[in-house]
Amino acid sequence: MAKRKKKTHVKGNMLIAQSGGPTAVINQSLVGAVLEAKKHDCIEGIYGSLHGIQGILDENFVDLKRETERNLLAVANTPSSALGSVRKKPDAEDCAKMFEVMKKYNIRFFFYIGGNDSAETAHIVNQEARRQKYELHCYHICKTVDNDLRQNDHTPGFGSAARFVAQAFMGDNLDNRALPGVKINVIMGRHAGFLTAASALARVNEDDGPHLIYLPETTFKMGQFVKDVKAVYKRLGRCVIAVSEGISDARGVPIAAKLSSAAEKDSHGNVQLSGSGALGDQLAGVIKQKTSITRVRADTFGYLQRSFTGLVSEVDAAEAFRVGAAAVKSSVKADTDGSIAIKRKKGKRYAVEYKRVPLKSVARDTREMPANFINEAGNDVTQAFIDYAMPLVGKLPRIGRLKACPVKKC
C-alpha cells in the first residue's frame, strides 16, 4: 500500500460493473470512472459488464466508448444501476471462468461498484489474478445506502437515501400531527442503523417526530418498545417511530425473520428483509393489542429509499462521481489495486478526501453505528450523529408552522 507514482506499463481494456442494491447515485460513479478512463492512453476499450459478474461469466459486455458524453451525463443523473446488477458470490469455478474471459478480452483494469459483498467479490477476483500472475488492476468502488462499509466516513448512496428518509419523515410527522395516532415507519438497514437514524434529521420543532428510533445496533425488547410508545403518546398525544428493518432480539435474531418460517436468502446468506410490510404490521399489531391507542399505522419505505427519481443529495452525487474517477486515476499507476474510501477531513467546514485502501479492509465485514451516535436508552440518536449526517444530506426543505395564537373564548 505504498504510494505508487509510476504509471503502469500494461495496456489493455477496462471492464466496469455494478453489483448489489442500486442507489440514486450509483451511475455517477460509473460515469465518473468512464469519463476519467477516456483520459488515459493505457486504457483502450472501456467495457461495461451487464448484471455484474454474471455479465463476465456470460461475456455480456457493452462498449461504453460508444456512448456520447451527453448521454453518459443523463445516465449519471438517473437512479439505479444502468448496467444492471446482481447478487452473486463467485465460487471457485466462477472465478476460473471469469479469468478465462478477462484474459480473452485483455481486461487489465477492473472496477466493481458495490458494497461489502461486492468488495469481497473484487477481492477474490484480485487474489486469483495475483495467483495467476496476471496483471489486473482490480478496484472496488464503494456504494451502499446502508453506509456500513469499513474504512469509509460514509458511502455514496447514503446521503441521497438519507435525504429521502428525512424528507419523508418531515412530511409524515406533519401528517401525524394533523391526524394524531401512532405511526411506525420501517427503514432499510440490515445491520447498520445509519439510514434509520437519518430520520432524526427531519426534526425542526421540539415536538417533531420521529419521537423514537430503533436501530439494529441496540437489542430490541418488545416490552420496552410498548412502554416507550405509551410514554410519548401520553406526553404528545401522538407518536412517530422509525424502526430499522434489521432490529433484532437479544440473541441477534431479526424480529422480521422471526415472522417468516421460510425466509428467503441470497447467495451471500442474507435473509430478505426488504420488499415486505410484515415487520411494520406486526409492530402496529402489538401496539394495538397492548395499549388503548386506536389509530396505529405502519408504512415500510421499501425500495423507494434507494431508487426514487429526482431526489438526490447534491453532495452525495458529486462524491459518487469523484469516487469513480479517483478509482480510475489510481488504477493507472504501477502495481495497484484497492478500494477508494471517503475520509472526512478534520476541521469545522465539511470536506473529504479519497484514499486508496486495501480491498480486504472493506470486504465482507461491515461496520455499525458507533456507540456515541446512539442515546443511552437505545431509542434515539445523539447530537453527534446529527452533526455527522447533516452535511451528507444537504439543506432540507423549509417547514412552516402557524404561530397559532388562540382566539379568546367567548
- Which residues belong to the active site? 146
If one asks whether residue 67 binds a copy of itself (CB under 8 A), the answer comes out as yes
Residues 12-41 that bind a copy of itself (CB under 8 A): 18, 21-22, 24, 27
Residue 397 CB, shortest distance to a copy of itself, in Å, is 4
Residue 252 CB, shortest distance to a copy of itself, in Å, is 24
Residues 119-178 that bind a copy of itself (CB under 8 A): 167-168, 170-172, 174-175, 177-178
The side-by-side arrangement of strands in the sheet containing 296-300 is: 212-214, 239-244, 182-187, 296-300
If one asks whether residue 79 binds a copy of itself (CB under 8 A), the answer comes out as yes
If one asks whether residue 81 binds a copy of itself (CB under 8 A), the answer comes out as yes
The DSSP element (H or E) to which 336 belongs, if any, is: none
Q: Given the complex with a copy of itself, which of 300 and 336 has the nearer CB atom?
A: 300
E strand intervals along 115-181 = 137-142
Q: Given the complex with a copy of itself, which of 289 and 348 has the nearer CB atom?
A: 289
Place of cell 486495501: 358
Residue 313 CB, shortest distance to a copy of itself, in Å, is 12
Residue 145 CB, shortest distance to a copy of itself, in Å, is 12
Contact code string over 93-112 relative to a copy of itself, x by CB under 8 A = -----------xx-------
CA nearest neighbour of 242 among 231, 229, 255: 229
Segment interacting with a copy of itself, rule: CB under 8 A, options 84-92, 127-135, 249-257, 342-350: 84-92
| Interface residue with a copy of itself, options 61, 110, 225, 321 (CB under 8 A) | 61
278 near 259, Cβ under 8 Å? yes
If one asks whether residue 74 binds a copy of itself (CB under 8 A), the answer comes out as yes
Q: 24 Cβ partners below 8 Å, 6+ apart?
A: 79, 80, 157, 160, 161, 164, 306, 307, 308, 311, 312, 316, 317
39 near 51, Cβ under 8 Å? no
Residues linked to residue 214 through DSSP beta bridges, in sequence order: 243
- Tell me how far apart the alpha carbons of residues 160 and 79 are, in angstroms, rounded to a whole number: 10
If one asks whether residue 299 binds a copy of itself (CB under 8 A), the answer comes out as yes
The torsion angles phi and psi of 185, rounded to 5 degrees, stand at: -120, 125
The torsion angles phi and psi of 390, rounded to 5 degrees, stand at: -55, -45
| Interface residue with a copy of itself, options 139, 308, 385, 388 (CB under 8 A) | 308
E strand intervals along 73-195 = 107-114, 137-142, 182-187
Residue 123 CB, shortest distance to a copy of itself, in Å, is 22
Q: Given the complex with a copy of itself, which of 80 and 379 has the nearer CB atom?
A: 80
If one asks whether residue 301 binds a copy of itself (CB under 8 A), the answer comes out as yes
If one asks whether residue 397 binds a copy of itself (CB under 8 A), the answer comes out as yes
| Interface residue with a copy of itself, options 122, 129, 195, 298 (CB under 8 A) | 298
DSSP 381: B
